[in-house]
Chain A
Amino acid sequence: MRGTDKEEIVTLTAFQMAKAMKKGELSSREIVEAELEVAKAVDPKTQSYLATCFNSAFMVADAVDEARALGQELPDLAGVPIAIKDMIVTKGVETTAASKILKGWVPPYDATSVEKVKENGMPILAKTNLDEFAQGSSTENSAFHPTFNPWDLERVPGGSGGGSAAAVASFASPLALGTDTGGSIRQPASFTGSVGVKPTYGRVSRYGAISMASSLDQIGPCARTVEDAAMLFDAIAGYDPKDSTSIPGCEPAALKAAMEGKKGDLSGIRVGIVSEASGEGFSKDVMDGFLRGANLLSAMGAKVEEKSFPNFRHGIQIYYILMPAEVSSNMARYDGMRYGLRVMPPDATAASMMAATREQGFGAEVKRRIMLGTYVLSSSQYEKMYAAAQKVRTVLIDDFKRAFESFDVLICPTSPTTAFKVGEVEDPVTMYKNDISTIPVNLAGIPAISLPVGLDTLGLPIGFQIMADRKKDELAFKVASALEEAVSNENDGPIWNKVPRLWKSGE
């Protein structure tokens, strides 16, 4: 294969790949081959992947190509490859959550979302890196290695889903699955100039997504374009009887909404700017980029107004009580008894083995959160901390409910800053503040999309977040798609296309 072909293939969007395969201009094997070559060149630089599974990807690709040759009716995404965050279990493929405690664990089952990916004939290329158990905002907390930002390899790709975002942004994969508990899909999307979607809680099955904080976790798409993310959303969303928190009777139609949005007509759409997502901590470049985006929405006919949201900034406090509480319980199963790491101290008892395994198997951030969670749930603190935070969560949800009575979507910068340097943020509390705009979305269970709205003075992407009411994911897709188109027109092409081509030497 010639270099230009390879470059052409991997820089196609998933939508274009699907179209080219349908027309017979491209085979799935050719796409997987191109992605393999790019991954070989790019992954040593970004370190997006924890494990690759190209052999099985080729088998799926060949099966799809064969079926297509026989004229069989195939799903839209058949043959389009994907990478899966290593927080989502894949049958027969090592799944670690980037933790030493799970190293070597090969799950005997597939997550529902992975089953759907397979049903759609999508070859799985790799498992992507993350902060250990999705706990972090920079992918520096992976037990194995950090991931670097393809826009600037000295910078972090965000987290926890830095691997999925970097893979998509660096053309190592057209699509990826992420998980988002407090911004783990959207903040990395913002840092890498890609599109990240946190669906309404309950629209995508959590079955097989390793639980971090069960009432906040949601699987969602990572892509370069809104259209691609919409296609993937349509493939993975839907009711799952294996997840008690799955929403019945809510058929996905995101691609249709995205196509609609592309027309650029937002008349009648009421947009609220969250006033509290500004000021302290938010960089000037980010605010400028965000306001340019807001103006573009206005220009397409949307009615854009400021909306004050007094409890928005409290999201982070509620989150850092509820999240660790759930984490402390969800992490309890990793004890060295049934699977994963076992550390035997001298003269081991069951209890000392478990405690030693957990001491050595978990990284500092995970241990910190388990301890915080144990504290807020302890009998003396429960009412004051955990129960109180649950109630303030209700107050925040009510704020959103009221806001969505007068607005169709709410907008704010996805992250207060653009990508920071590796090692730059050491203090956990400063790190937590990165998620100030993304966390309230998880607490309320609403959908949100982050897409790039421009570049800052350093040439780093700025993320724009669009939030919609529960189950109105499609509306967020529509607005995001319109904005994406407008941004592209304003910037001589899509932001994602401005990323350095890392397979070229010197970049």
Chain B
Amino acid sequence: MMTEKLMSFEEAVSQFDPVIGLEIHVELNTKTKLFDWAHYEFGSEPNTELTPVSFGLPGALPVVNREAVRKAVKLGLALTCHVNEWSQFARKNYFYPDMPRNYQISQFDKPTNGNGWLDVELEDGTVFRVPIERAHIEDDAGKINHIGGANGRLEGADHSLVDYNRAGVPLVEIVTKPVMGAGALAPQVAGAYARAVRDIAVACGVSEGKMEHGNLRADVNVSLRKSPEDPFGTRSETKNVNSFRAMEKTVAYEIRRQAYILSHGGEVLQETRHWDENGQCTAGARLKSDANDYRYFPDPDLLMLHVTDSEVEEIRATLPELPFAKRRRLKDEWNLSDTEMRDLLNAEAVDLVEESVKKGSSPQGARKWWLGEILRLANEMQMPLGALAIEPEDVAKIEELLSSGKLTDKMAKQVVEAVVNGEGRPEEIVEKKGLKIVSDSSQLSGAVKKALKENPDIAEKLRQGNMKPMGVIIGLVMKETHGQADAKSVRDLVIQEISK
């Protein structure tokens, strides 16, 4: 692959004003497809989840899935969109082997959701408002597996195999208006926006939001101009960027690439590109910009889609507290700094902590566990926090045992590790491992007396009121009791002993 010349990012954003546009496809988690009764599940046997409609057989006709519309409206409302009472499906005509009808049923000039915005929080805690043009409903295409090329890639493949199962699955495509004024933060805005969309879709229960299953796919448009007063420059469109990091990198790469071209008197081509994960760059698909004329027209097989005001209000009433508002609220309630909140967000631990608090843990305690020991274990196992065997109620329980003095900090860590390893619930583990604090004074007093007797100089210092060497005695008692002693009880006993 030809390597392209790039300008450094810092120089590029100092010379040019980047404008980005983001199109995110969110796959809805309905039971059946958008226009037919086929059930769809990720990873099912190829070509087994098809009806005459989603397979595009001659004579088959589409009928809209009510739940898909309701979920699309819910997502639209969460993005503060205006829900149009009347919307219309249109055919987007182009030939591709993964398209059973060779037209996609989408929406064109009459989308279901129009005009919204989404506030996204950047790393420094500032809030950036991304304007949204529309959030329309459309159906997905099948999946192509390339055979004969390296790593299942298109290039070099001598033929490909098509699985049409995914064809007809409902998508909501959320299209931003041109996002301006982000400057050097443009890459961050892109990533944060996509994360925010995912979080909202998941919070609303309309999508599984799993990037690895292709539940979320993004197209990233980038153009540069000399100054914010200038008209928009020619944009590139990078298709199917499939991770948040890749979106950020795509924006940064395109800014650097285009800046180099423009600063050397060149012209940016209006073209379709794709993100190359191996090369960490975008690559052109050599697509002529005038080659595609999708010939959109209203689908004559479908009548106007009607969403009444009362239906909209009914759906609005089911909206959950949205992630952004929730974070604001929790940050206040838990009294966190921006950094502390961001750490929680980055670890995707907000919901886990909140849930733990609901189950009775203190916010500080829950936060300490999730971002401390549990996160360390998760990193070791290379798993996300949410996928571990430990549940918020386990954390709450451990916290309770700890604060009521039934476990030492060290023991609690042992319990956490065991729960993460799937050995059982906290109380079972405490039982199994015999983790019990020795706080019974008759058991401890012997050990205390022994320690004082064997260290008369320390005992003397303590008697004279110098408490500094207290730790040494406690340590000895701990050693004697194999770590099962409660430090506070030991301390009390020592004081009791020297006061005699």
The reply to whether B302 and A244 form a contact with Cβ atoms under 8 Å apart is yes
Q: Count chain A CB atoms within 10 A of each CB in B58, B96, B301 and give the residue with the most.
A: B58
Enumerate A372-411 residues with CB–CB distance to B below 8 Å: 374, 377-379, 382, 386
Chain B residues contacting A325 (CB-CB under 8 Å) are 297
Question: Which chain A residue has the least Cβ–Cβ distance from B301?
Answer: A214
For residue B235, CB closer than 8 A to chain A, the reply is no
A326 to B62, CA, bound (A): 15
Residues of B within 8 A of A351 (CB): 95
Of residues 327 through 342 on chain A, the ones whose CB sits less than 8 Å from some CB of chain B are 328-329, 332-335, 337-339
Task: Among B60, B63, B102, B300, point to the contact of A332 (Cβ < 8 A).
Answer: B102
Q: Please count the residue pairs between chain A and chain B whose beta carbons lie under 8 angstroms apart in the complex.
A: 99
Which of A326, A329, A333 is in CB contact (< 8 Å) with B58? A333
Docked complex Cα distance between A245 and B298 (Å): 14
CA distance A207 to B59 in the complex (A): 6
Contact of B93 among A208, A213, A243, A329 (CB under 8 A): A329
**A97→B57 CA distance, assembly (Å):** 13
Contact of A109 among B57, B63, B96, B103 (CB under 8 A): B57
Shortest CB-to-CB span from B299 to chain A, Å, is: 8
Interface of A is mostly: loop
Residues of B within 8 A of A334 (CB): 58
Q: Is B149 at the interface (CB under 8 A from chain A)?
A: no
- Within the complex, the shortest CB–CB distance from B61 to chain A, in Å, comes to 5
Are the CB atoms of A338 and B55 closer together than 8 Å?
Answer: yes
- Is there a chain A Cβ closer than 8 Å to B392's Cβ? no
Interface check A481, CB cutoff 8 A: no
Give Cα A207–Cα B36 distance, bound, in whole angstroms: 12
Residue of A nearest to B63 (CB): A244
> In the complex, A88 Cα to B299 Cα: how many Å?
21
CB within 8 Å for A377 and B295 given contacts A214-B301, A244-B303, A332-B93: yes
Query: Which residues of the other chain, A, contact B365 by a CB distance below 8 angstroms?
Result: none
| CB of A215 closer than 8 Å to a CB of B | yes
Size range of the chain A interface in the assembly: 35 or more
Q: Which residues of chain A are near B164, meaning CB under 8 Å? A: 338
**Partner pick for B52 among A88, A109, A382, CB 8 A cutoff:** A109
Task: Tell me the count of chain B residues lying within 8 A, CB to CB, of chain A.
Answer: 32
Indicate if B313 sits at the interface (CB-CB under 8 A): no
Q: A89-B58, A111-B59 are in contact. Are A337 and B293 (CB under 8 A)?
A: no
Interface residues of B in 80-97 (CB under 8 A from A): 91, 93, 95-97
Q: Are A244 and B64 within 8 A (Cβ)?
A: yes
Q: Is A243's CB under 8 angstroms from B295's CB?
A: no
**Which residues from chain A contact B101 at a C-beta distance below 8 Å?**
332-333
- Against B, the Cβ 8 Å flags (1 = close, 0 = not) of A184-209 are 00000000000000000000001111
CB of A92 within 8 A of chain B? no
Bound form: Cα–Cα A335–B96 in Å: 9
Residues of chain A within 8 A (CB-CB) of B345 are none
Q: Is the CB of B58 within 8 A of A206?
A: no
Q: Are A337 and B301 in contact (CB under 8 A)?
A: no
Is residue B162 contacting chain A, with contact meaning CB distance below 8 A? Answer: yes
**In the complex, A111 Cα to B164 Cα: how many Å?**
22
Q: Is A211 located at the chain interface by the 8 A CB criterion?
A: yes
- Which 3 residue pairs spanning A and B have beta carbons closest together? A332-B102, A215-B300, A377-B295
Other A-B pairs beyond A209-B59, A245-B301, A332-B95, 15, CB < 8 Å: A105-B58, A108-B52, A109-B57, A109-B60, A207-B59, A207-B60, A211-B58, A243-B61, A244-B61, A244-B62, A329-B91, A329-B295, A333-B58, A338-B56, A354-B95
A–B pairs, 25, beta carbons within 8 Å: A88-B59, A108-B52, A111-B59, A207-B59, A208-B60, A210-B58, A214-B299, A244-B302, A329-B91, A329-B93, A329-B295, A329-B297, A332-B95, A332-B101, A332-B103, A333-B101, A333-B102, A337-B97, A338-B55, A338-B164, A350-B97, A374-B295, A378-B293, A378-B295, A382-B295
